[in-house]
Amino acid sequence: MSSKDQKHDYHLVDPSPWPIYTSFATLITAIGSVYYFHSKVMWAMLLGFALLIYGAYMWFRDVVNEAEHQGHHTPVVQIHHRYGMTLFIASEVMFFVAWFWAYFDASLYPSAFVGGVWPPKDIEVFNPWDIPLINTLVLLLSGTTVTWAHHSLLEDDRKGFIQGLWATVLLGFFFTLLQIYEYQHASFDFSGHIYGATFYMATGFHGFHVVVGTIFLAVCLWRGKLGHFNKDHHFGFEAAAWYWHFVDVVWLFLFAAIYVWGS
């Protein structure tokens, strides 16, 4: 039954196998990851990850069909989607609060284990005005291009929308490559001291968000080419843009606190 046949504007979701399927796929991925950490055998982790990707694809496909072909995403439903995305980003902020808390707790009150100074004397930190500055400029530029794409969509400029999204996805991919290069040339690793643990948890967790955001925008790019978005109905892309701006802002705090002040 389409939303036009209903006597209300709310979407009553049909029973779906994907939530329970995704839960088990996530469990297999977690168990496989632990098994890999202990035995260096990857097959269980890769199997769980493949099942998880399949479940995510099928679940997202159903949501897109609900929006584009069944007409269930009415204005009231879209308001609730906005509330949900806002709360999700707020929960992500709390994740980063934890990493910043750990970093500042260790850096403002350095213990005798790190020589009473921060950064520790035996740590060669990154030059903040090298790759970190380039990555900052890359993310700031990507925030500009995703805004360009959004305003192009609002003005029914589909060419500008696609071009802006392409630029944002490429910039996100470039950021990830630069961060991988930075990690490969680091003089310290994750284990053995508090500096490496706090540095990699904060920047690595942010890097994971960049990867997720890049995939999010790439899916929007694919959907945009299929004509799924218009100036009045495009919350899927708008949510991706919100998420990307959140990732940009977090990086500015990371750059200022960990790379500049922490050096």
Does residue 131 surpass a pLDDT of 80?
A: yes
Mean pLDDT of the chain: 89
| pLDDT value for 220 | 92
Q: Is 186 left (phi over 0), alpha (psi -120 to 50) or beta?
A: beta
Q: How many CB atoms lie within 10 A of CB 17?
A: 11
DSSP 107-127: HHS--GGGTTSSS-TT-----
Does residue 4 surpass a pLDDT of 60?
A: no
Q: What is the pTM of this model?
A: 0.86
Instruction: For the chain, give every residue range classified as CATH 1.20.120.80.
Output: 74-261
Contact 62, 16 (CB under 8 A): yes
| pLDDT value for 133 | 96
Q: Where does the pLDDT of residue 134 fall: very low under 50, low under 70, confident under 90, or very high at 90 and above?
A: very high
| pLDDT value for 207 | 95
| pLDDT value for 112 | 65
Q: Where does the pLDDT of residue 114 fall: very low under 50, low under 70, confident under 90, or very high at 90 and above?
A: low
> How large is the average pLDDT for residues 15-26?
93
Does residue 2 surpass a pLDDT of 60?
A: no
Higher per-residue pLDDT: 113 or 201: 201
In tens, the pLDDT along 186-227 reads 888 877 788 888 999 999 999 999 999 999 999 999 988 988
Fold of 1-72: Helix Hairpins (1.10.287)
Does residue 7 surpass a pLDDT of 70?
A: no
State whether CATH 2.40.50.140 applies to domain 74-261: no
In tens, the pLDDT along 31-69 reads 999 999 888 889 999 999 999 999 999 988 888 887 776
> How large is the average pLDDT for residues 165-180?
96
Give the separation between CA 149 and CA 153, rounded to whole angstroms: 6
Instruction: For the chain, give every residue range classified as CATH 1.10.287.70.
Output: 1-72
Please state, for a pLDDT cut of 90, what percent of the chain lies above it: 62
> How large is the average pLDDT for residues 105-120?
78
